[in-house]
A and B are shown apart, each in its own frame.
Chain A
């Protein structure tokens, strides 16, 4: 019963985080000789860390009151943010593996 709220939170953070991390990765690796590999490495590092942190900061500020929605379903913010972090970690790892495999083909 609590799962839909975790999915809802991850869906809410995913696209903002994706856009931010992609932007930061492009800005950080634009001058690189091997842009593709450098971008993928930077993106994989940024997506679960800085991009996610900025997304959380924005959501936490703009949707401060919605924390009670999660609390009323028995979910603490720590668990929620940790679930998001783990999902992002898995997503970045999966993306890395898939793209590396495609490059090798």
Chain B
């Protein structure tokens, strides 16, 4: 039997203050080939859940398994990557240096440096890039890692439509090799590429059968 590559997070409980529990047993599952759209209102805990699943934030309780193995700090397994809401690369660094630094394999480095949207940027410093160029570069750097799962926290926020499209294309073209969990308030972009939809609400995750169901919980009636 072939091993299915799966990210599994269950019973995630977290609170910033003792008075208010933010996550009360959240559950999320993602397999390679899936694009899970994680939706929810502002402050409902989407970013917190992603940070916990990545291992950057410690939950009061969590049960996280990657490819069948339980892990306490998932990022140490190198099977999972995380794109935070804000840029995570040093701004004073040159794009080509950053690619050499983060992408070890020569073939992958060359392929990234010759990417149609990156080759014109390689001599620029990170702070000279536009928001869309920077986001695209960061996602390329994460995709080039030998991870099985990527958590993308608001990959489309504040981007021009062209780069939104490029990033969506990038995610779709790599979904056979990786599992993606994407959270974004621009839900239309997420809906376009998501294979599964999860709504984070009242501290827990609700799996949605189709986007029509979103109208009951998240978006105005009559949207679809």
Contacts and interface: CB of A to CB of B under 8 A. Distances in A.
A105 interface: no
A69 B77 contact: no
Main secondary structure of the interface of A (DSSP, over half): helix
Contacts of A4: 100-101, 104
Given A8-B101, A63-B90, A65-B87, A72 B82 contact: yes
Interface in B153-176: none
Nearest to B150: A72
A74 B76 contact: yes
A13 to B, nearest CB: 13
Contacts, number: 49
Interface residues of B, number: 24
B56 A65 contact: no
Contacts of B86: 65
Nearest to B55: A71
A65 B141 CA distance: 16
A61 to B, nearest CB: 14
A69 B104 contact: no
Nearest to A1: B104
B76 to A, nearest CB: 6
A72 B142 contact: yes
Interface of A: 1, 4-5, 8, 63, 65-69, 71-74, 76
